[in-house]
Structure 1
């Protein structure tokens, strides 16, 4: 290690650790210092000469807004960075129990490279522009010695290779700030069928699972019901409508009731019918939105019971092919398919299609005739 000129150094209280026989250091940085020390000036370099990905600017407003909107309970994980320059660690004490607590001294001409967290760094910078007081708060930094481009690229790969995204359902389940999430969980707990047969964790339901619904699908259906309404402040009348709507649906779809009463296996339901899948639940959400805006008076037992006049079988390709079922015979879901599936359900319920739904339906029929 080269001798450090103590007149031109940074000094940070730090904890020293050991990984793969190499020292690393954990310290705390004020957020305003993070934006000054760490730069992202690699945008123009070819990928093979970079040690990190180019920042996706479209992600920054959402991350920054998260900090700005939640100044009293936002949470950020540590940044991981490499130091290309002279550094030394000076323990506060030579006693063994304190030997890994000390000051990390870094030459001021050192270069700092973020190996993991450049989007967080950029979002912090944006958030401080809106709320300067955030600059005095801190974030933990894990520092490693820079050992060249090859090692830095490997660190980036290692840090990201084993990261596993949470499922959408878990993300919803744990997000207490989301009013639609809160309403959805309250709804599920209030209806026996939903409470007993909703998987609150997975992105998909395993073949032999006793569940028939996914939390994420019910959540998305409720989002559709409340589209065009203020989702941050759900009115009591809207909440009452949603609870009544799903209660009537759950009580009147006979195959769902057969699963509840152990007359039909959940796996057999999913194998043979489409009405517990996300595309159908979201289609019912779109219909709920239509009723909430135009036909609350229609929300009766007799009206919802008409759902049993629909042939929900996966073998019913006359109705569901290229709507809820793709060319390969699998359940499909995209925005257009949700509209097309909702169109069939609305027709069976005797509801008029909107102008936009009519346009999509006409195009669908034209393409069908060409095939």
Structure 2
């Protein structure tokens, strides 16, 4: 009787929880063929992954194709529903761990971790077929009857912690806005000392006044809508100049840097150190700089006229706060931007006017 058709993978054999598993390198062109993903064929009780979020796939595929010399993927983890045969290449304790893994072609492969990577690889291969010769690590667990695959998914994600937004900005050297935010912080005499570079939330005891993620959002809002012909260095220079000028009108920021008052006190008593106000200052600043009729720096003096105290509920309740708590929704950012633009003498956009009218109507009980 002829031997059954099979896949043969070079592999390393390991043991976890008294069970064998295998690590291999698989050419990208084989990933869509071997790890077939059709969630419609699998009932929820058998699926070992979330339902595929198709909106994520093109983004990951673009990441591959636009970073041919620098993309990186972690291993795909899958369960094999089949009897396999591992053929060591040598004898002895060390030699027996490396060999050839024989898997029958009738085997079922269920992805435990990596379904979006698999779908993105398939999409990227359509655009760039020569990617097929590159490889990705694959971790294969034996799971006859697929009895453990769902528990494996739960265990693989049990202690996964998504990095904070700030540390994502700090480490991302491909994203231009992230690079811009980092350089603005590092070049600013004020920000360099009062920005938390890793965490995206601040405790009352933190000596930092802002988070890097808040500076990222604010600076991105500032440079958006500016002249498309401006290069990166022009944007960096402009952003640094703008935030240095803004800082002159918030004496509490300087007092925190000089350790004369605590950052916690300022965050508790004033709203101008919170991310929503920074982003609103960025959006208002973008409109101010685009208005070339007048020099923009003198206009920022009007910021001193604003009562930034959190106790000033007339200004901030329903606009930047709800029940005394700072809000971050898009509508709150717009309403906060509107107030700043009013003090700066700037005209609201049609969308900002719509949001403002709805806010005023609600406050008046109409």
Name the TM-score class by shorter chain.
over 0.9
Contact 2:82 2:104 in 1 (8 A): yes
1:309 aligns with 2:317: no
Q: Which residue of 1 aligns with 2:320?
A: 324
1:187 aligns with 2:203: no
User: What stretches of structure 1 of length at least 5 have no aligned partner?
Assistant: none
Post-superposition offset of 1:44: 5.0
1:159 aligns with 2:177: no
SS, match of residue 68 in structure 2 = coil
Post-superposition offset of 1:41: 2.2
When residues 269 and 347 of structure 1 are mapped into structure 2, their CA distance, relative to the original with a 3 A threshold, is: same
1:290 aligns with 2:253: no
SS, match of residue 16 in structure 1 = strand
Contact 1:87 1:106 in 2 (8 A): yes
Post-superposition offset of 1:229: 4.4
One of 323, 327, 334 as aligned partner of 1:339: 334
1:214 aligns with 2:180: no
Partner Cα separation in structure 1 for residue 2 and residue 94 of structure 2? 29
Partner Cα separation in structure 1 for residue 215 and residue 146 of structure 2? 47
CA deviations on 1:135-182 (whole Å, 9 max, x unpaired) are 110001001101334311100111112111011111111110111111
Post-superposition offset of 1:5: 6.4
Q: Which residue of 2 aligns with 1:100?
A: 97
SS, match of residue 103 in structure 1 = strand
Partner Cα separation in structure 1 for residue 291 and residue 41 of structure 2? 54
Contact 2:288 2:346 in 1 (8 A): no
1:29 aligns with 2:26: yes
Partner Cα separation in structure 2 for residue 159 and residue 337 of structure 1? 37
When residues 112 and 195 of structure 1 are mapped into structure 2, their CA distance, relative to the original with a 3 A threshold, is: same
Partner Cα separation in structure 1 for residue 196 and residue 69 of structure 2? 32
SS, match of residue 14 in structure 1 = strand
Partner Cα separation in structure 2 for residue 163 and residue 11 of structure 1? 32
SS, match of residue 102 in structure 1 = strand
1:55 aligns with 2:49: no
Contact 1:31 1:135 in 2 (8 A): yes
When residues 86 and 147 of structure 1 are mapped into structure 2, their CA distance, relative to the original with a 3 A threshold, is: closer
Contact 2:166 2:198 in 1 (8 A): yes
Post-superposition offset of 1:349: 2.1
Contact 1:180 1:231 in 2 (8 A): no
Q: Which residue of 1 aligns with 2:351?
A: 356
* Structure 1 residues 256-267: aligned runs within 5 Å: 256-267=253-264
User: What stretches of structure 2 of length at least 5 have no aligned partner?
Assistant: none
Q: Give the TM-score normalised by the residue count of structure 2.
A: 0.95
Contact 1:197 1:213 in 2 (8 A): yes
Partner Cα separation in structure 1 for residue 124 and residue 287 of structure 2? 38
Q: Which residue of 2 aligns with 1:365?
A: 360
Contact 1:241 1:292 in 2 (8 A): no
Post-superposition offset of 1:62: 0.5
Contact 1:170 1:200 in 2 (8 A): yes
One of 127, 130, 133 as aligned partner of 2:127: 130
Contact 1:238 1:292 in 2 (8 A): no
Post-superposition offset of 1:236: 4.1
Moved over 6 A (4+): 230-233
SS, match of residue 48 in structure 1 = coil
Contact 1:50 1:149 in 2 (8 A): no
Q: Which residue of 2 aligns with 1:66?
A: 63
One of 84, 94, 111 as aligned partner of 2:108: 111
Partner Cα separation in structure 2 for residue 340 and residue 197 of structure 1? 26
SS, match of residue 208 in structure 2 = coil
Partner Cα separation in structure 2 for residue 165 and residue 210 of structure 1? 24
One of 143, 147, 151 as aligned partner of 2:144: 147
Partner Cα separation in structure 2 for residue 277 and residue 232 of structure 1? 31
One of 201, 204, 207 as aligned partner of 2:201: 204
**Count of residue correspondences:** 366
Post-superposition offset of 1:304: 1.9
